[in-house]
A = this chain, B = another copy of it.
């Protein structure tokens, strides 16, 4: 076998069985190896940011890394923004970056760049394969690194000659092991137990793996036993949410509202996260959002086991038999009439089918009203952790591949959707169950609010022209058609509701333009 075949065989051995690819000339042997191995699913993306974002979506739903195939330094560069988002979401990922052969690099051909330099700022692990013989070991290490808790970004640079040179059979490597999660310290558990027993108002902020599964349920038991409130940052990698799940309050995005939310808590307890920080700095607003005098207590560090921590905490509290209070189902009547954040949220609450996945990049339209969907059917909610716009349509693509039996709703503003709109093509190609909901307000509405928040005054006509995107307004139905995705436009709440329900009836992607 050649190096590329060894690489693909090792990925499969280590349980990485999907590759989001945008290949080029230097990756032809890798492409051949992907094609020859029926256990590897290869998904073609027309832009690298789609590939890396899809790998993020895959990880969020599978808790195991996908691989990407990118073409030299510039191909990696095109994928970096969504690697940033994935890194901030603690998603593991194995990036394979094609590269010139060493013998060719010294002539500095046009596509040469400092790939390590580009990779390092956003990777936890970077290695250049030295030969076809070493590739299996390099690959196994990349997968091990990506599979740690929290997930890591591993980037393996693959020079052409290491790909096409012959090597022996891939070495027998140890099977992949689940990431070891560290045990939280007993001192911290006991300290937080004392805080909770004090009865003083306490917010427990959950993040990463603590917002779902057994960890969330046990956090709910702690809350029930102590009266503490469960909260999340405004953005969370994935929350299990809706009827039957322990509900979590979301700290608002805007600084004044976040401060108002936090001001009455005497204690903040953090779980796989840190104390709340403003997303941006503003001239006249603080960066830290807690009230003066609020004390912050770390319960679970990012690499620790939050489920175990809540077990220990329940034990320390003598509350192992307390039950969590879960969210009851709230039947929301189908709204009618004008579309606004509230009617949109009501339509969502009424329409979301059981076990769907909601990928949210709705920014201005959705962010203050999504709370109204808390009593919807049980679902997963996914947010943008890195703040780089253009995460949602790729993440929805990867989530749909990870969970083929679940419908994915991707809520995205029109401005945001344009960054990685090529996702629609992959959704059509793979016939993925993604409903893309475009909130078309023809403006970077978030920037209008931020202009004032920043104290930059009222935008004049010329500044406004850099925020409005209504000349021309984007024809979203034509956009969907161009990439083979059926679409519908709606301008009423009942129309939006119906379009969502209809979209879930047939397999495959569709796009709903919500005209605001």
Contact = CB atoms under 8 A, between A and B. Distances in A.
Interface string A3-33: 0000000000000000001011110110110
Contacts of A235: 110
Given A110-B385, A117-B117, A117-B120, 12 more contacts: A21-B466, A25-B446, A29-B454, A32-B457, A36-B463, A74-B387, A104-B280, A107-B288, A111-B387, A164-B454, A418-B422, A478-B482
**For the complex formed by this chain, how many copies does it contain in all?**
2
A77 B28 CA distance: 26
A459 interface: yes
Interface stretch (A137-145, A179-187, A224-232, A468-476): A468-476
Interface stretch (A39-47, A307-315, A370-378): A39-47
Contact of A481 (B80, B464, B478): B478
A130 to B, nearest CB: 16
B466 A388 contact: no
Contacts of A72: 388
Interface string A66-82: 00000011110110110
Contacts of A467: 23, 31
Residue from A34, A463, A474 with most neighbouring chain B CB atoms (10 Å): A463
A244 interface: no
Nearest to A106: B287
Given A73-B121, A278-B109, A456 B78 contact: no
Interface residues of A, number: 102
Given A278-B109, A463-B35, A104 B287 contact: yes
A173 interface: no
Contacts of A454: 25, 28-29, 160, 164
User: 6 tightest CB-CB pairs across the interface, nearest first?
Assistant: A472-B484, A35-B463, A104-B281, A74-B388, A77-B80, A117-B121
B81 A77 contact: yes
Contacts of A386: 74, 110-111
20 contacts: A23-B467, A24-B389, A29-B454, A31-B447, A31-B451, A35-B460, A35-B461, A75-B81, A75-B388, A78-B80, A78-B81, A100-B281, A110-B235, A111-B387, A111-B388, A421-B422, A425-B472, A475-B481, A475-B483, A482-B482
A297 interface: no
Interface in A276-290: 277-281, 283, 287-288
A49 interface: yes
A140 B36 CA distance: 55
A386 B78 CA distance: 14
Contacts of A84: 73-74, 77, 113
A463 B31 CA distance: 6
Contact of A109 (B24, B280, B388, B466): B280
Interface string A113-157: 110011011100000000000000000000000000000000000
B418 A425 contact: yes
A44 B110 contact: no
B419 A463 contact: no
A266 interface: no
A360 interface: no
